[in-house]
Amino acid sequence: QVQLVESGGGLAQAGGSLRLSCASSGFPFGSYAMGWFRQAPGKEREFVASISFSGGNSYYADSVKGRFTISRDNAKNTMYLQMSRLKPKDTAAYYCARGGYYSDYDLSPDQHDFWGQGTQVTVSS
């Protein structure tokens, strides 16, 4: 069955960095766009970044553009989110999700059919 497992979350200071990983199994990883979303307490889940099935195209929310980098290694069935210059408002649970088949990018949660369990990122000021 499809499994997505996030790791790499934790506590960071403002201005610091973290790298999240999303290990996948149970489907042809290199055939699907993938995305990162986040959800802070009391808020709706929001789009963070998306990457095409090949890794050649990526798209970012304005709030993270220039600070976060999404990437993938199709040989390792793993996606990454490098987060730099972290801010307290980046504090949230971060989720990876499977997007569309051979899609370039998908921005809406509704376009993602499988989700990981989430990893918590907390940024202190």
Q: What angle do CA 118, 32, 39 make, to 5 degrees?
A: 25
Report the length, in residues, of the chain.
Answer: 125
The arrangement of strands across the sheet holding 18-25 comes to: 3-7, 18-25, 78-83, 68-73
Q: What is the pLDDT of residues 92-118, one digit of tens each?
A: 999 999 999 998 888 889 999 999 999
**Alpha carbons 58 and 124: distance in angstroms, whole number:** 28
Predicted confidence at residue 106, as pLDDT, reads: 85
- Exposed, middle or buried: residue 92 (CB in 10 Å: 0-12, 13-18, 19+)? buried
Please provide the average confidence, as pLDDT, over all residues in the chain: 96
